[in-house]
Amino acid sequence: MLPNLLVLQKTNSLEIINLLMKTVSNCVEDILITQPYLEEALSRNIINFSALAIELTEPISNMLKKEVKPGAIMMALRRYNPPPALTNSVKMKKFMQNLGDITVRSNLTDFTIKNSETIIDNHAKILDRINQESKLFYTFTRGIHESNIIISSSLNEFIKENLKNESFLAIQDGLSAISVNLPQDNSKIAGLYYQFFKRLAWEGIVLYEVISTTNEFTILVEDEFVDKAFTAIKKVKA
């Protein structure tokens, strides 16, 4: 009976360890997902696993509401599989080098309007005016509860007049748009937009709006950030 009891105890101990490791692994994954720079450093093997495990000991212990040893965390870190988009850096770098032209447009205004039964009809009048001036910058996005019109500031008064019966939720001028032409197969590249957002966030650039079509990607920033944002995107392409 005694040997059987020892085997049972040993089996139960292994199950408990495996369960704890699984839970620690989940905590590690949750932390890395919220800290993409850390996740990327792990994928490139440029981080000290032991030091990171010690750093994560307190937050993971708090998450599990029990003491966790750095060794268990380090094992979970070594077992962590980063997303393919982070590990396939050679393919991504080649793709980014094939990005098209980068275009900057300034003196833009962003109108946020509450959706209504009349907004489409009123918007049609704006389209008629835009068709007369091909050099204007213009985008329209309709969401579930609100719509956005981003347009050259020279038409601000025209927009306000033609939408005077609509409910404006926000009006922001002093904006600039930076547009990037993307290669045709961009929709098949995982992690593409992450490359842009990572660089912009690293530079401390606040994005006011993000717009995209199938083969174009546009960010809207306040004028004070436009030069810095343009430089950051050029670095992504380099």
Q: Are 55 and 121 members of one domain?
A: no
Q: What is the pLDDT of residue 175?
A: 97
| CATH label of the domain that carries residue 126 | 3.30.2130.10
* Three-state SS at 117: coil
Whether the predicted pLDDT of 8 surpasses 70: no
Q: Are 38 and 14 members of one domain?
A: yes
Decide if 70 contacts 50 (C-beta within 8 A): yes
Q: What is the pLDDT of residue 99?
A: 84
pLDDT digits (tens, 9 = 90+) for 128-149: 888 888 789 999 999 999 999 9
Q: Are 137 and 74 members of one domain?
A: no
Amino acid letter for position 74: M
Residues in the chain: 238
Residue 188 lies in a domain: yes
Q: Which residue, of 17, 51, 82, is where some domain finishes?
A: 82
Q: What is the pLDDT of residue 23?
A: 82
Query: At which residue do the structure tokens 């660089």 appear?
Result: 199
pLDDT digits (tens, 9 = 90+) for 188-197: 777 788 888 8
Whether the predicted pLDDT of 216 surpasses 50: yes
Instruction: Summarize the confidence of residues 137-166 as an average pLDDT.
Output: 94
Dihedral, 85, 87, 93, 96 alpha carbons, nearest 10 = 10
Q: Are 76 and 173 members of one domain?
A: no
Decide if 43 contacts 87 (C-beta within 8 A): yes
Of the given ranges (70-84, 99-113, 139-153), which has the lowest mean pLDDT? 70-84
pTM confidence score: 0.67
Which H or E run contains 24?
helix 2-34
Residue 229 lies in a domain: yes
Residue 88 lies in a domain: no
Q: What is the pLDDT of residue 227?
A: 95
Q: Are 78 and 110 members of one domain?
A: no
pLDDT level of residue 45 (50, 70, 90 thresholds): confident
Closest CA to 63 of 38, 34, 112, 28: 28
Residue 109 lies in a domain: yes
Q: Which residues contact 39 (CB under 8 A, 6 or more apart)?
A: 32, 33, 82, 83, 86
Host domain of residue 146? 96-237
**CA dihedral sign, ordered 108, 139, 137, 96:** positive
Residue 87 lies in a domain: no
Q: Are 123 and 63 members of one domain?
A: no
Q: Are 75 and 106 members of one domain?
A: no
